[in-house]
């Protein structure tokens, strides 16, 4: 008898996580995974931050720390502190209790819960996402019940922001549309608006009555400063208007597999926020009931304790600085090889990734000949690189550019 699933077709691997699957199968000792954005040390190893180890030790030693279910919207302390982290402790929205926050399954889960909430309670179901954007965005929002459209963002000829195109597209968007922004360190381009450009965008968004949805997956990872990387979001919240924010602790606290993040909905009034919060529970309860306790407890410990917090920001700055130094080293290595083309975007781009401009053929050449793995759009994770591996990557890029059209 045939299986009742005999007609199920083989699905393709995920464009980002599938790179790791291919990498794991490669027996070459020279292999290098620059696909997924996961931080590696100078030795090429994953790390658990010291501050996270300390917080975990405190939790283990605390007999009052249990494994009970959390409330539907998660750990209350965690939620408060997480909203403060992105908005600033002195934010009027925080002080006036105008924020509904749900602890969610990292950044992805926060985006998804936000999407489901919008599909149920917001009159406009269209969300505009930048072109290009993180590959999972369209899938999350479509699965979450929204219609996805895109706005121009990146200009390949200048390797910079297409501000004109962005403003035109948002100006032409249907009234009330949701607009997704990367709070900082745009993935995959590494191109962020300047503060002046953000201000222009903000004015347009508010005058058109669009609803901003910030994806903050890299706070602190771009500049090394948590406050600086939150400026875009704070600018929008300062005008008193509403917005959605999805936060992730995967990168900035290295809690990837703990799946810890939050969705915050900033409202105009406290009573609205409290009703919104009540409805968020109805979204979450049938989906996964309530979020996991471990990661959120670690984060709450770190954010609550001044010494741990200071230690965290120092470790975070160390990671951001190492990534920035990898940019310089790669740029210098290509310059030393006389690799054809202008590579200054490597040092200009912001955050975890360099959007190299390499095409899909060059990417597959580098995989086949040099065992270097990256996404087919030519994005490389600078956080996966180290001083030891820069020459290998530079050789590979040089060969790809000179030998593959």
Residues 133-152, one symbol each (x = binds ligand PLA by CB under 6 A, - = not), give -x-x----------------
CB burial class (10 A; 0-12, 13-18, 19+) of residue 138?
Answer: middle
Contact range with ligand PLA by CB under 6 A, out of 4-12, 105-113, 123-131, 342-350 = 105-113
Among 215, 229, 311, 377, binds ligand PLA (CB under 6 A): 215
Considering the candidates 162, 169, 192, 215, report the single residue annotated as catalytic: 215
Q: Token pair 């969610």 is at which residue?
A: 104
Does residue 250 bind ligand PLA (CB under 6 A)? Answer: yes
Does residue 248 bind ligand PLA (CB under 6 A)? Answer: yes
The answer to whether 236 and 214 have CB atoms below 8 angstroms apart is: yes
Angstrom distance (rounded) from CA 141 to CA 125: 10
Does residue 220 bind ligand PLA (CB under 6 A)? Answer: no
Closest CA to 249 of 203, 218, 281, 207: 218
Is 256 in a helix, a strand, or coil?
A: helix
Closest CA to 91 of 223, 234, 232, 195: 234
Contact range with ligand PLA by CB under 6 A, out of 42-50, 103-111, 231-239, 284-292 = 103-111
Closest CA to 355 of 155, 218, 165: 155
Does residue 261 bind ligand PLA (CB under 6 A)? Answer: yes
Angstrom distance (rounded) from CA 154 to CA 170: 14
45 catalytic, yes or no? no
Number of residues that bind ligand PLA (CB under 6 A): 15
Closest approach of ligand PLA to the CB of residue 149, in Å: 18
Closest approach of ligand PLA to the CB of residue 13, in Å: 12
Closer residue to ligand PLA (CB): 16 or 400: 16
215 catalytic, yes or no? yes
Does residue 108 bind ligand PLA (CB under 6 A)? Answer: yes
Contact range with ligand PLA by CB under 6 A, out of 79-87, 104-112, 173-181, 221-229 = 104-112
Residues 116-135, one symbol each (x = binds ligand PLA by CB under 6 A, - = not), give ------------------x-
Closest CA to 22 of 13, 234, 404: 13
Does residue 252 bind ligand PLA (CB under 6 A)? Answer: no
Does residue 36 bind ligand PLA (CB under 6 A)? Answer: yes
Does residue 86 bind ligand PLA (CB under 6 A)? Answer: no
Does residue 233 bind ligand PLA (CB under 6 A)? Answer: no
Does residue 187 bind ligand PLA (CB under 6 A)? Answer: yes
Closest approach of ligand PLA to the CB of residue 140, in Å: 9
The answer to whether 105 and 249 have CB atoms below 8 angstroms apart is: no
83: which 2 tokens? Answer: 């909203």
Does residue 190 bind ligand PLA (CB under 6 A)? Answer: no
Angstrom distance (rounded) from CA 364 to CA 348: 25
Considering the candidates 54, 162, 229, 251, report the single residue annotated as catalytic: 251
- φ/ψ of 309, rounded to 5, equals -60, -45
Does residue 153 bind ligand PLA (CB under 6 A)? Answer: no
Query: CA angle 320-326-327, nearest 5°?
Result: 95
Closest CA to 380 of 190, 252, 218: 190
13: which 2 tokens? Answer: 């691997």
How far lies 84's CA from each of 145, 227, 263, 303, 310, in Å? Answer: 29, 11, 13, 10, 16
Residues engaged in binding ligand PLA (CB under 6 A)? 16, 36-37, 106-108, 134, 136, 182, 187, 215, 217, 248, 250, 261
Active-site residue list: 134, 215, 251
């Amino acid at each position: 008898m045939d299986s009742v699933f005999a007609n199920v077709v083989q699905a393709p691997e995920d464009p980002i996580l599938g790179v790791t699957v291919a990498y794991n199968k490669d027996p070459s000792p020279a292999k290098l995974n620059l696909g997924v954005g996961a931080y590696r040390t100078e030795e090429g190893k994953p790390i658990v931050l010291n501050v996270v180890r300390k917080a975990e030790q405190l939790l283990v030693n605390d007999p009052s720390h249990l494994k009970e279910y959390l409330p539907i919207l998660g750990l209350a302390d965690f939620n408060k502190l997480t909203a403060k982290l992105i908005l600033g402790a002195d934010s009027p929205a925080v002080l006036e209790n105008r924020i509904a926050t749900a602890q969610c399954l990292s950044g992805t889960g926060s985006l998804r819960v936000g999407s489901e909430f919008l599909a149920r309670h917001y009159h406009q179901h269209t969300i505009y996402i930048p072109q290009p954007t993180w590959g999972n965005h369209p899938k999350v929002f479509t699965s979450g019940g929204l219609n996805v459209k895109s706005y121009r963002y990146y200009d390949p000829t200048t390797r910079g922001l297409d501000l004109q195109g962005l403003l035109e597209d948002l100006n032409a968007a249907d009234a009330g549309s949701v607009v997704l922004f990367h709070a900082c360190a745009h993935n995959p381009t590494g191109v962020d608006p300047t503060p002046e450009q953000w201000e222009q965008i903000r004015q347009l968004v508010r005058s058109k009555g669009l609803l901003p949805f910030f994806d903050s997956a890299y706070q602190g990872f771009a500049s090394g400063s948590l406050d600086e990387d939150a400026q875009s979001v704070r600018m929008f919240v300062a005008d008193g208007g509403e917005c959605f924010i999805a936060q992730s602790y995967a990168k900035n606290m290295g809690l990837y597999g703990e799946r810890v993040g939050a969705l915050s909905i900033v409202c105009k009034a406290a009573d609205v926020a409290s009703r919104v919060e009540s409805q968020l529970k109805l979204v979450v309860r049938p989906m996964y009931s309530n979020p996991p306790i471990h990661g959120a407890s670690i984060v709450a410990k770190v954010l609550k304790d001044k010494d741990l917090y200071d230690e965290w920001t120092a470790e975070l700055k160390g990671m951001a600085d190492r990534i920035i130094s990898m940019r310089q080293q790669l740029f210098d290595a290509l310059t030393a090889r006389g690799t054809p083309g202008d590579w200054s975007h490597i040092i200009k781009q912001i955050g975890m990734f360099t959007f190299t401009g390499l095409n899909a053929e060059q990417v597959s050449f580098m995989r086949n000949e040099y065992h270097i793995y990256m996404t087919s759009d030519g994005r490389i994770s600078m956080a996966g690189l180290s001083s030891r591996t820069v020459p290998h990557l530079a050789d590979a890029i040089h060969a790809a550019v000179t030998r593959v059209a």
